[in-house]
Structure 1
Amino acid sequence: MRLCTVCALGEEHPGVVLDDEGVCSLCKLDHAGDLLRNFTYTNAVYEEFTRSGPNPNGDYDCLFMYSGGKDSTYMLDKFVNEHGKRVLSYTFDVPFESVHAAQNIRLARERIPATFVLDSDDDSIKRMMREVFNRPTPKKPGKYLDEKLPCVSCRTFFVLRAVLYAFRHRIPYIALCADPQQILTMESDAREVVRGFYRTFGVHLTDELFKGELEQVLFAEDDEIPKIVFPFIAMRYEYDPDRIVAELKAKGLYDSSPLETHCTLFPLLNYYSFKNWGCMFYKLNASSHQRSVARNKDFDRSTFSIKFPRAANIVDIEERMKRVVLEIAERTGDPQEHERELVDIFRQLDATEEGARFVAQSFLGMRTVAADLGIRL
């Protein structure tokens, strides 16, 4: 398989085309038009939010989606302690939440004077994830981000739960802490998020998962529908995950690493990407990093939540991870050797020894998680 000579994306990566010189369409900015239009709309919504006054229809100016990760913890602290917004902190209790993310949420509840709300619907989100993972092998070449469909679907599910919550309580804005690169491919228009979910899962399953309530959003007046705001759009040029983690730890608000606060589906997300598209789950992140380094040799900052070390051999890491993940899925190979290999891989990605072992153990338990969700490997 050919790889892009700039960023190492493979020629079979969904939504990516290599030219005769081996340069991919992302490196040539062939997607720039669509991304720019979405960015322009997203930026306009953020500017509107910052200028808006108190919500005349309720006690909260925005619903803040709080996951327990570093980005949302950082911004929740800013919203409550530095900005003048009245904030409802909303957490969807994902059944496959990392224990480390749950610990960070407890720290925030102890230290940040906000109103915290916990929502959950284990049966529906598990039902949706079974649908995603158990689908037949997708048709190729596929569309941009198809390799992340399970993660995107999960995130969209609880975004829609938040949209319904804000819609019912007349909260005009929803703050979602996507990192600056994720913002480019995410939708700020809640009505369009609803339509996209219907397109992906069909009317029957969507109405089953949301008990028919999403239709109310589709046919509501524009001023009744909450708008999605991405706070990190304001700091897109100085986003630095290392600095964010350091600040949070200094305040006692973060007690892990970004790799450790991923959900327990992280190994299965890699399995899905390897099985269907031949790439690791974070290949787009890694390729964005390599692209930036290639354009600026002094580049030392990541716009993604996961920062890749300059010296990391992404192609080698990806091949090693693919072999281990597929062997675990097939129940072949030596589990002890798998653990050693995974720990070494995540150490190369700058995880601590403890963090690398934590993530490696989650990969070794991948089959157990799959069985619990009814996912076929």
Structure 2
Amino acid sequence: MSRCTVCSLKSDHPGVVLDDQGVCNMCTLDFATDLLDNYRYTSDTFTQFQQAAAAPGEYDCLFMYSGGKDSTYMLDKFVNEYGKRVLAYTFDVPFESVHAAQNIALAREKIPATFVLDSDDDNIKTMMREVFNRPAPRKPAKYLDEKLPCISCRSFFMLRAILLAYRQKIPYIALCADPQQILTMESNAREIVRDFYKTFGERLTDTLFGGQLEELLFDDDENLPKIVFPFIATRHDYDPDRIVEELRAKGLYESSPLETHCTLFPLLNYYSFKNFDCMFYKLNASSHARSVARNASFDRNTFSIKFPRSLDIEGVEERLGKVVMAIAAGEGDRDEHERTLVDVFQSMDATEEAARFVAQSFLDMRTVAADLGIRLA
């Protein structure tokens, strides 16, 4: 299997094409026209939000609050520095890490926003079963196909947030994607609805949302909330280490980015390895390698998970893939799997405590799958 000579993406990675020099279209940006158009639209929308007068209703924006470092950092900014009237919306994902819940509790104590907790365990579990238990995707795969479970989960609670903002006439929804994620996320509320219908079909979509989404398809643009990405304004100096340091100094964050991840992280890797022979964070790791290759003295982070400069991406992917598929099949020794996982995550600069926390979630993958009704090979 050939790989990109710059970032190590495999030639059959979803959406990847290698040129005659062995360089992928991610590195040459041949794929990026639509993504860059979205980036410009997103930047313009955030500028409008910054310049907008106070909304006529109770809130200036609905703020998507997950308890992760990025959303905690920006929620603090919105309320305590920018003076925005914020409805902090948290969807109680049934697979949320305990550390994220702890961070949310800290924010409730220290940030004077209005907090709302939403949930719909049955329907989001139904959707995730559908994603994982589908037949193998058709090849050739499209860009981001390996992340379908994660994208579907995010779209589910985004749509619930859009419906809430729409009903309460809140003009903006703030989503704290990091600068790299912004490039790959839809920024138009109506298009998010359309994409969900395309992915899951009319019957399941209407079942999951009680037929409410159809109204969003046909209402006028000015009546739909606009999605803004606050980190678009700081894309050139985004620094996850600094963000964590500032939050800890304020007593707003007590975990690491790896620890705050959802408990489906192991299953997301299982899906990626099973269907596309790649780890879930392969695009992120390859982007890091691309950054280092372009600037030998500086590797600016544009994404939430930091990778060490000397990371052996191919080695990490190979070791992680073997242990993930062995755990999924119920094979091998649990203690040996744990040692391998801890070593892999520590090689990615995780502390031993964080590495063991994440390793435990991988070891529990079959239990989580059984609870959700997900069939493992």
* TM-score (normalizing by structure 1): 0.99
Give the aligned partner of residue 174 of structure 1: 173
Give the aligned partner of residue 35 of structure 2: 35
The unaligned stretches of length 5 or more in structure 1 are none
Give the aligned partner of residue 252 of structure 2: 253
Structure 1 consecutive aligned stretches of length 4 or more whose deviation exceeds 4 Å = none
Q: CA deviation at 1:20?
A: 2.4
Matched, 1:12 2:12: yes
SS in 2 for 1:97: coil
Q: CA deviation at 1:151?
A: 0.3
Q: CA deviation at 1:32?
A: 2.1
Q: CA deviation at 1:228?
A: 0.5
Give the aligned partner of residue 75 of structure 1: 74
What code does the residue aligned with 2:4 have? Answer: C
Give the aligned partner of residue 200 of structure 1: 199
Q: CA deviation at 1:300?
A: 2.8
Q: How many residues align?
A: 376
- Deviation track 1:263-321 (CA, whole Å, cap 9, x = no partner) reads 00000000000000000000000000000100110123210100110011111000000
SS in 2 for 1:127: helix
Q: CA deviation at 1:67?
A: 0.1
- Deviation track 1:84-128 (CA, whole Å, cap 9, x = no partner) reads 211100000000000000000000001111100000000010000
Give the aligned partner of residue 367 of structure 1: 366
Q: Percent identity?
A: 74
* Distance (Å, rounded) in 2 between the aligned partners of 1:246 and 1:214: 40
What code does the residue aligned with 1:15 have? Answer: G
* Distance (Å, rounded) in 1 between the aligned partners of 2:26 and 2:354: 32
Query: Contact (CA 8 Å) 1:45, 1:188: kept in 2 or not?
Result: no
Query: Contact (CA 8 Å) 2:291, 2:300: kept in 1 or not?
Result: no
- Deviation track 1:196-249 (CA, whole Å, cap 9, x = no partner) reads 100111000000000000011111121110010000000000001011011101
Matched, 1:144 2:143: yes
SS in 1 for 2:126: helix
The unaligned stretches of length 5 or more in structure 2 are none
Describe how 1:297-316 pairs up with structure 2 within 5 A.
Answer: 297-316=296-315
* Distance (Å, rounded) in 2 between the aligned partners of 1:375 and 1:191: 30
SS in 1 for 2:27: coil
Matched, 1:329 2:328: yes
SS in 2 for 1:64: strand
* Distance (Å, rounded) in 2 between the aligned partners of 1:182 and 1:258: 15
* Distance (Å, rounded) in 2 between the aligned partners of 1:271 and 1:151: 12
Matched, 1:46 2:46: yes
* Distance (Å, rounded) in 2 between the aligned partners of 1:25 and 1:32: 9
* Distance (Å, rounded) in 2 between the aligned partners of 1:126 and 1:32: 33
Q: Provide the alpha-carbon RMSD of the alignment.
A: 0.7
SS in 2 for 1:117: strand
Query: Contact (CA 8 Å) 1:63, 1:171: kept in 2 or not?
Result: yes
Give the aligned partner of residue 352 of structure 2: 353
Give the aligned partner of residue 210 of structure 2: 211
Query: Contact (CA 8 Å) 1:147, 1:281: kept in 2 or not?
Result: yes
What code does the residue aligned with 2:232 have? Answer: I
Query: Contact (CA 8 Å) 2:90, 2:116: kept in 1 or not?
Result: yes
Q: CA deviation at 1:31?
A: 1.4
Matched, 1:133 2:132: yes
Q: CA deviation at 1:339?
A: 0.1
What code does the residue aligned with 1:332 have? Answer: E
What code does the residue aligned with 1:31 have? Answer: F
* Distance (Å, rounded) in 1 between the aligned partners of 2:233 and 2:166: 25
